[in-house]
Chains A and B, each alone.
Chain A
Amino acid sequence: GENVEQHPSTLSVQEGDSAVIKCTYSDSASNYFPWYKQELGKGPQLIIDIRSNVGEKKDQRIAVTLNKTAKHFSLHITETQPEDSAVYFCAASSGNNNAGNMLTFGGGTRLMVKP
């Protein structure tokens, strides 16, 4: 089955700096890679996703890159703000018809943005 590794487990940055979180996956059939943000006591919320037919996607201060050959993808947050502080999860899915959209998650990264 799929295995997703995520690094670092904690990340502390100064407000205004950039943050980068990296993930690797094992199943070459995976073709959908979402990133979720989880605030304390809440459920995960999708912030950006990328499919295997593109290498990069950007949405305002957030961007995700995908390298299918190396089987890794990264989340980039620029101009970080204190409200970006949360736990971020990467995930991967092969999305075949039998498995629906079953996601395998990384272990999470606790991002702390210091004012």
Chain B
Amino acid sequence: NAGVMQNPRHLVRRRGQEARLRCSPMKGHSHVYWYRQLPEEGLKFMVYLQKENIIDESGMPKERFSAEFPKEGPSILRIQQVVRGDSAAYFCASSPDRAFAGELFFGEGSRLTVL
């Protein structure tokens, strides 16, 4: 049973480019969460999605950031016109098909570096 898969593991972008991060949840999981971790800091909630629905995006910056979790395929976190401050590790987590499921299973993260 494969865990949460994130790709790419490392991504380098120049200022003004777009970054797309992908997350495939564990098999059978339909709840996906994105967290951001700045260097030497904790994990900050960004967005919670279920299939085809954004449930809570209260942690997502209002501009340049968007997320989706289509009916088919992985969840995508998209950052447009990246700036140096977007450099961080972005973690995806998933949980089973229950409204309250306990453990979140995390992927290995995607590390974005903006030059």
Contacts and interface: CB of A to CB of B under 8 A. Distances in A.
B33 interface: yes
B45 A104 contact: yes
A103 B34 CA distance: 11
Contacts of A101: 31, 33, 95, 100-104
Interface stretch (A11-19, A41-49, A53-61, A68-76): A41-49
Interface residues of A, number: 27
B42 A108 contact: yes
A106 B41 CA distance: 9
Interface string B19-32: 00000000000010
B42 A107 contact: yes
Contact of A99 (B35, B44, B48): B48
Majority secondary structure of chain A interface residues (helix, strand, loop or mixed): loop
Given A43-B106, A43-B107, A97 B99 contact: yes
A29 interface: no
Contacts of A103: 33, 45, 104
7 contacts: A32-B100, A41-B108, A44-B91, A96-B100, A97-B99, A99-B56, A101-B31
Interface of A: 1, 6, 32, 34, 36, 41-46, 49, 89, 95-108
Given A6-B42, A41-B108, A105-B44, 11 more contacts: A44-B91, A89-B42, A89-B43, A97-B100, A99-B48, A99-B56, A100-B99, A101-B95, A103-B33, A105-B43, A107-B42
